[in-house]
Structure 1
């Protein structure tokens, strides 16, 4: 057998799957967001179940909630992980729901936390993909890991701080005044008044880091680092999409583009990693249509939740608290599962 045939695939699942669901979604989401901008699909509201929505808002909102709840297939659907960490997977969600439902202060703080945890989490998802592509390209798992870590946060959070949607990310602090925490309502005003300084800081420091990053990898390449084309393509397209969307788009268009690409990637990742366990849990065996049935159950269940959560009346406080718990547990559980597999990424 030749050495080339022993070499692992540079892809996570396979060429077709990776390009369709991991590598091309940034460009696909950007193209779709631009295409629907100013059309009836994104701008003409309608009423469904008493809630006023646009088709674009319903689509991306449902996908957001669907991908959030999909983490439970990775945590609670995995018996090995569930047995190792029963308290964090069984007790913590119940306690979190009780605290959010029972305290308006906790609920308001949890809403703000979810906004910024989402930014951190989204950067880490691309980081995880990049590290796996690096490993599959034949590089040591820990090589330049910290460089990639900070690059992905720069590419995602940098355009938010420096761009047109910065203030929209900080508006959640205004709700804290209603629960007796008026001090924090000064945060949006402070960020708005110092936005120019944040922009200059991100551009100057970010530009210096990008130059350092390229130089560091050039040195690694000269010492034998194996360049991974999927990794480079993913980082360049995701970074360009983030800069264009968060930096220059309106809030609605940027929100649609960035959350669409993130949700598609995540749902595809969960299916790729958990399909065998889903099929086993459903006791489908190996008959020809078992994968299709398992996929229908997986996607159908998370999408039903997604649509329901998107159309939920916020006045139903118990159910609204549940959706907030799902969001927080998604960020926590997903980051924790990635860390358990840190040696792989």
Structure 2
């Protein structure tokens, strides 16, 4: 056992930072989503450069695109990582853009892939936070890892399959029907017809797994596994938020809540892990205003892209292809960067 002075902090960054940006976002996003429901902010259509959108849609859409592009601070901003994997970080994005821009079939397939990769990726982000909190609580990094892995996917993907927004996710397959692949365009109809069976399956399998998870956690606790309050709080609030929103809310409200909490957590994570590299890149040194300047550069750059991507004309195929590439690279790069340190988390 480590000496008291050697014990790791139970937080990732610090108590205030973690509670503001990692732990409270599920509840804050849920409260905000409920507060703006059926208000002009979420229901009144406004015209932005010739396109009709709600203010809530522009807000969350811009944050989504901003957090997607922020991954490049973690991948390409890390010189040592970029030099170790030059093809992965320099060639693949260019080839992906060329393929998506040059083929309507590839573009449609990329749209479907991005839709469902997002679901997988979102569950993994919460999983990553949970594993770090568990490790910081004094537990071996590999202990209960697989249990947490499947729990997070159940809490995120389960309500989507079983709930009110299931069909909205599977409508992305309709894009394949428009490019000469009619077989895939029948997927939404099949999922809609079998929705009751999916709901029943998720309830039975999910309920059984949750019971197993509780029993396994109790068994581990009796063997000396230390309970991390931060991990439990994060999993309970995120799971409750996911079940409530994906399971029972309309598509628009659920999309706003879940993507708001995910984007805020991710942007805070990138700043916490990359702030020193950002300051070095900007050659700010240690002068008093270096942190505010670096924060302004980081948030300003990603939010500028986010607003532009949200309001761009979808008929501009080159720019649309770019947003798809950014989305796919976000999921790929972020998963890869998490996996670099997976032995620690």
Aligning the two structures, in what range does the TM-score lie when normalised by the shorter sequence?
over 0.9
Aligned twin of 1:199: 199
Partner of 2:222: 222
1:5: how far off? 2.9
- The separation in 1 between residues aligned to 2:147 and 2:296, in whole angstroms, is 39
1:194-228 superposed Cα distances (whole Å, 9 cap, x missing partner) = 10000000001100000000100100000000100
Residue 184 of structure 2 is aligned to residue 184 of structure 1: yes
Matched, 1:265 2:245: no
Aligned residue for 1:11, secondary structure, equals coil
Matches within 5 A, 1:14-53: 14-53=14-53
- Runs (4 or more) in structure 1 with deviation over 2 Å come to 2-6
CA deviation after TM superposition for structure 1 residue 53, in Å: 1.0
Does residue 236 of structure 2 align to residue 243 of structure 1?
no
Q: Counterpart of 1:46 in 2: which secondary structure?
A: strand
Look up the SS of the partner of 1:53 in the other structure: strand
Whole-angstrom distance in 2 between the partners of 1:231 and 1:272: 19
Q: Unaligned stretches of 5+ in structure 1?
A: none
* Aligned residue runs from structure 1 range 1-345, under 5 A: 3-345=3-345
Q: Secondary structure at the match of 1:8?
A: coil
C-alpha root-mean-square deviation of aligned residues, in Å? 0.7
Alpha-carbon distance between aligned partners in 2 of 1:216 and 1:289, rounded to the nearest angstrom:
50
Give, in whole Å, the separation in 2 of the partners of 1:327 and 1:70.
11
| CA displacement at 1:233 relative to structure 2 | 0.1
What secondary structure does 2:77 align onto? coil
Structure-2 separation of matches of 1:253 and 1:5 = 46
Deviation at 1:98, TM superposition (A): 0.2
Take 2:203 and 2:113, find their aligned partners in 1: how far apart are those partners?
26
TM-score by length of 2: 0.99
- Structure 2: state its 5+ residue gaps: none
Q: CA deviation at 1:3?
A: 3.3
TM-score, normalised with respect to structure 1: 0.99
Give SS of 2:38's match: coil
Give 1:156 shift. 0.1
Distance (Å, rounded) in 2 between the aligned partners of 1:295 and 1:324: 26
Q: 1:284: how far off?
A: 0.3
| More displaced stretch, 70-79 vs 4-13 | 4-13
In the TM superposition, residue 7 of structure 1 has moved relative to its aligned partner by: 1.2
Structure 2 CA distance for aligned equivalents of residues 252 and 167 of structure 1: 13
Moved more, 167-176 or 3-12: 3-12
Aligned-pair distance for 1:6?
2.3
